[in-house]
Amino acid sequence: MFLECARASCQHVGGSLCVGLDPHPDRLPARFDPAIGGLRRFLDETIKKTLPSASLYKPNAAFFEERGPEGISLLKEIIDRVHEVGRPVILDAKRGDIASTAHAYARAAFDVLDADAITIVPYMGEDAVVPFLDRGRFVFLLALPSNPSAAAVVEHGSPPLYERIGRMGLELEVRYPGQVGLVAGATRPAQAASLHRLAPSLPWLVPGVGSQGGSLAELSEAIGGRHEAWVNVSRAILFDPEPAAAAEMWKREIGVWRNA
């Protein structure tokens, strides 16, 4: 299962860095052809260079889907490549739809692409989530997105929506133990602290550090305790001139936070 594999990978690497594979086409280094072959070489090289520091990889489906059938085929290749080197894969697809459609999305993510986990937008309720859990894989429910404008939605209401998502995660965890986590952005430390108090047992995927400016130090101070989490860094590693050194630096930074 994903959780056991992710924990074993973290122990093997000595850190909990998740490297996001978000290959923005306009940011590929000039030495790589922008066609699908160049993108394949770029991603293969990135995986090879960051492997000593990365516990997980998170390809963003959108940057593959926009390239059509070749891109989707490449996404499958990249997931297989990550598995070959012994790391689990989180498919960042942020799916969320009624049950019949969710079943199709789940088959695509897990049966076709063979991802180990997926990100889900659960605003249509459990119907949007359970089909993924029924296939025995792991889901990260989007609770606290890292982008600024999300505040108008996820912080709305009493209790706020992100807390409702946290409670949904706890309820699903009872029925699907070891298969549920939350997305909690580092850009919202105060809200993350509330989420931590509400659902301390659910592991997190933490976006928002690096290019988005989230601070692990502020997150640590707000939470006031350890929390099992994988911290995702995408552009700050992917497009660094020295991705291996950048990944090692981020692994150390995350280690300081995790051991605070």
* Active site positions, annotated: 94
SS3 148: helix
Each as own residue / partner, the long-range contacts of residues 65-68 (CB below 8 Å, 24 or more positions apart, any chain) are 66/25, 67/36, 67/39
Q: Detail the DSSP E strand segments found in 80-145.
A: 90-95, 117-120, 138-144
Phi first, then psi: what are they for 59, rounded to 5°?
-70, 135
Q: Where are the beta strands (DSSP E) in 164-236?
A: 180-184, 204-206, 229-233
Q: Which long-range contacts (CB under 8 A, 24 or more apart) does 97-104 make?
A: 97/124, 97/128, 98/124, 98/127, 98/128, 99/127, 99/128, 99/130, 99/131, 102/127, 102/128, 102/129, 102/130, 102/131, 102/132, 103/131
| Helix (H), strand (E) at residue 161 | helix 161-175
Q: Which helix (H) or strand (E) holds 20?
A: strand 17-21
Question: CB atoms < 10 A from the CB of 259, how many?
Answer: 8
Contact call for residues 127 and 106 (beta carbons, < 8 A): no
Tally of CB atoms within 10 A around 40: 19
Contact between 61 and 89 (Cβ < 8 Å): no
